[in-house]
A = this chain, B = another copy of it.
């Protein structure tokens, strides 16, 4: 299938949600679904669904709905899941361990290839069969084994330095959990998860209603 290019950012942001719902449909052996039914499940309008999926390629057959498996595969492809991205986690504290285990639980095709920390109490610990390695070995590790994604689970004060080392040694994407805005070269993809900001948004909305 000819894939359309230049998918807009709002559509990209919605793709993981489509992926999640289509995955559920596949598990439940649903073969086809109409834009109306899919919309009701996801909480988007049928028009929104048709517009979004039209951006990706030619899936629907008028009157027959979308083929779930085909759509799921194509979205997985666009999400880069067939690239087998390799990732490392820097920081083996609670968040780092949570991410290591979370990745395993969800069975996605990201290969966790290393976990690094500075804390002697954590070095040597096994998480998902991967031994936590001394951060001093990070550079030599990256030079020997090119990685795609670096997950930053260190403190705010160390996050930029850790990101700089990874970028200098070939990492292409940073998944950042430190509450800081990293400064990275333009070609590096950055995705932040600011937990505290999420909690503050919740709190703000609760306060707004009282």
Q: A: which residues have CB within 8 A of B?
A: 7, 12-13, 15-17, 19-20, 43, 78-81, 83, 85, 93-95, 97-99, 101-103, 106, 108, 110, 148-149, 172-173, 175, 179, 181, 187, 189-191, 193-210
- Whether B189 pairs with A110 at a CB distance below 8 angstroms is no
Looking at A98, A172, A194, which has the most chain B CB atoms within 10 Å of its CB?
A98
Q: A79-B207, A179-B20, A189-B206 are in contact. Are A101 and B94 (CB under 8 A)?
A: yes
Closest to A41 in B: B181
| Cα separation A179 to B16 with both chains bound (whole Å) | 11
Least Cβ distance of A204 to chain B in Å? 5
Least Cβ distance of A104 to chain B in Å? 11
- Whether A197 pairs with B20 at a CB distance below 8 angstroms is yes
Determine the chain B residues whose CB is within 8 A of the CB of A187 once the complex forms. Answer: 209
| Interchain Cβ contacts under 8 Å between A and B, 22 examples | A12-B205, A15-B204, A16-B197, A16-B201, A20-B179, A20-B196, A43-B181, A79-B204, A81-B203, A83-B206, A94-B94, A94-B97, A94-B102, A102-B196, A106-B196, A108-B200, A110-B203, A175-B199, A189-B205, A190-B202, A191-B205, A193-B195
